[in-house]
Amino acid sequence: MSKMSGPEVGSYAGGAVSVSAAFTLTEFGVAVGIITALLTFALNTWYTRQKNAREQRLADLDIREREVRLAQLEAAK
């Protein structure tokens, strides 16, 4: 991959400035709101998956513990 030349950088910067200058404050606020909502959704989804995995591990451990206790009670009879 080659380095970008000065005119290329200037061209991209000019394009970015022209696009951002076309936004009004209201449009910018809407864009920031949409981005914030999408990031919140993604983080909430990730956290929920982590929480579900933790709860599943705890449930599996609880089931194993109950099976061991049941086996011990049956062996004691």
| Structure-block tokens of residue 42 | 């993604």
Per-residue burial over 36-55, b if 16 or more Cβ lie within 10 Å, else e, is eeeeeeeeeeeeeeeeeeee
Instruction: Report the pLDDT value the prediction gives residue 25, as an integer from 0 to 100.
Output: 85
At 24, phi and psi to the nearest 5?
-85, 170
pLDDT tens track for 13-54 = 888 888 888 888 898 899 999 999 999 999 999 999 999 999
CA angle 59, 65, 66 (to 5 degrees): 90
Instruction: Report the pLDDT value the prediction gives residue 1, as an integer from 0 to 100.
Output: 53
SS3 23: coil
pLDDT, mean of residues 59-68: 96
